[in-house]
Amino acid sequence: MNITLAQAEKMIAVAKAKATSIDTKMNIAIVDAGANLVAFGRMDGAWLGSLDISIKKAKTARFFDMNTGVIGELSQPGGSLFNIEHSNNGLITFPGGIPVKNASGEIIGAIGVSGSSVENDHAVAEAGALAI
């Protein structure tokens, strides 16, 4: 199962609304089950440097089927995933990437958000992920 374009566009719309409600500008990336980019939105004025980060957060969440913040905790010195961020042509291991599941609980893609604090990134990603 893969995320559809319609679902991805809905996720971006909900994520943008959340970002607006907390007065921030975000880059929002949606990938399918194969970690291929399906949709992307860059809010007016969002940081250019966060564009790549948002895509990598989405891919990281899908590659490992867990929130990027969890991967970050496990990748600290002494952790079981220490240095994992250097694999797969670079991963992002701080909050803002979340796997997306369908109604049956199957992972169909992921969302990655970047452009603010990691707390805001996660909140916007979570809103988008829960949109479908």
- Within a 13 Å sphere around the CA of 127, how many CA atoms are in the beta-carbon half? 19
Q: Which residues contact 65 (CB under 8 A, 6 or more apart)?
A: 99, 107
Pick from 44, 42, 56: nearest CA to 96: 56
CATH 3.30.450.150 fits 5-41+52-129, yes or no: yes
CA distance 95 to 92: 8
Model confidence, pTM:
0.94
Domain ranges of the chain: 5-41+52-129
Pick from 11, 106, 124, 5: nearest CA to 65: 106
Q: Per residue of the chain (132 residues), what is the pLDDT tens digit?
A: 899 999 999 999 999 999 999 999 999 999 999 999 999 999 999 999 999 999 999 999 999 999 999 999 989 999 898 989 988 888 999 999 999 999 999 999 999 999 999 999 999 999 999 999
Q: What are the distances in angstroms from CA 64 to CA 19, 25, 53, 87, 108?
A: 26, 27, 16, 12, 13
What is the predicted pLDDT for the residue at 90? 86
What is the predicted pLDDT for the residue at 124? 98
What is the predicted pLDDT for the residue at 1? 82
Burial of 46 (0-12, 13-18, 19+ CB in 10 A): buried
